[in-house]
Amino acid sequence: MQVPEVLITRPKNFDPELYRSMAPTEREPLKRKRSERPPKSKTRTAPRPAASQQRRTRSRRSPEPQPRAHRATSQKQMTRNNALELMKRRRQRLEPAAPAQEDPYESASEVDSLFDEIEDDEQFEENFIVKDDGAKVVLPTGHQLQDDEEMQIKKIVQFMVFVAVHPPAERKSIMEKLLEDEYFLVPLERLRRRMKGLVVILKSTRWSIPFTNRLERHPDLVVQEVSTNAASKICIVCHKTQTGNNNGHRAVLSGFPYDQVGYQELPLKPGDMKERTYDMGFFCAKRVYAFHRVFHWERNLFVEVRKEIDQMHEIRQGGRLVNDRDISIAVDNDRIGAPKDLQDANAINDWFAKRGFVKLLEKKIKDILADGEGAEKDMKGGKSD
């Protein structure tokens, strides 16, 4: 960049000696004069319009015309053609062809009008419908229609019959194989979850751990009402002193532990007693009894079915049956309409249904649920001994 030349002009009658002797404030400043510059142009550029004026100018401009294309009709025609081509290839067991490329510059004359009707609708529907191969469609378990409570219990009883007709050594493997079928697994798991929810609610934190473990290990429980003098004044469950004139209750716990799969009895552990007795109050006895029935409902249901089948075998072998009073009674399976093949689970289940035995088991399960829910209401209401 070229620096402009600076010229210094001195006033007339300038005396350098006098100028040096003067004070700095008294000196006349020297005039500086820059070299002449080229004169500026007098023409002025037009001012830029404001932003608001530019926006108004843009809005006034008319949009550029775009070519008109009937894309709705073209898409309709392409979908129809692709569907027909896919149906034909499925029938010929060929791989589906790649979708045809749409021409964006297709003229309006080559495209059907929006108001054109499909020619030969019957032929189009006939080509569009594909016949299935007869395979049965099975929905997932969570999306299937749920059975009512009565039908679920009937399926569970039928499952118990299928397990009980086999020898004890084979019941575990048979049970595992049957539970692979959702016909038995779904209703059994639903009732298990319902019973497990009641077990969690009914279990009390006041119960000692050994007492709770014994309730869960021994499947037989008998609760009897005893006089106040015979019963202990202190409830062994909640450790409270019983008050009032109500009689006490005595619970007798017994039975062998069992396997959850197959319901086979297990030997007692060292230190376990075959029978234990507990004195408790009214509400504690009701809660313990409800908890025990809910916890062992599945095993006790299997025992009911197994006893009926065992009686049928006794009648077939000796022609006699021992009733609850230990009295031998002459019974004939043919007269009572029992099935001849005692290994036919379906025939035995049908015979149980005709006799009303399935209805009886259904009522027992409903009573177990009612006892558990009733004890839950008493617990929420604050009732205790």
DSSP character string of 284-345: HHHHHHHHHHHHTHHHHHHHHHHHHHHHHHHHHHHSEEE-TTS-EEE--HHHHT--S-TT-H
How far is it, in rounded angstroms, from Cα 266 to Cα 259?
A: 7
Kindly report the pTM of this predicted structure: 0.59
pLDDT in tens, the chain (385 residues): 555 555 555 666 667 777 777 766 666 555 555 555 556 655 555 566 565 565 555 555 555 655 555 455 567 777 888 888 888 777 776 655 555 555 555 544 444 454 455 545 555 555 555 555 555 555 555 545 556 788 999 999 999 999 999 999 999 999 999 999 999 999 999 999 999 999 999 998 888 898 999 999 999 999 988 876 655 677 888 777 766 556 788 899 999 999 999 999 988 777 777 788 888 888 888 899 999 999 999 999 999 999 999 888 877 776 655 555 555 556 656 556 778 888 899 999 998 998 899 999 999 999 999 988 888 787 776 666 5
Q: Are 185 and 360 in contact (CB under 8 A)?
A: no
- At 252, is the secondary structure helix, strand, or coil? strand
How far is it, in rounded angstroms, from Cα 125 to Cα 234?
A: 83
Closest CA to 228 of 216, 208, 244: 244
How far is it, in rounded angstroms, from Cα 334 to Cα 281?
A: 50
Q: Are 275 and 253 in contact (CB under 8 A)?
A: yes
Domain boundaries, the chain: 145-380
How far is it, in rounded angstroms, from Cα 104 to Cα 93?
A: 32
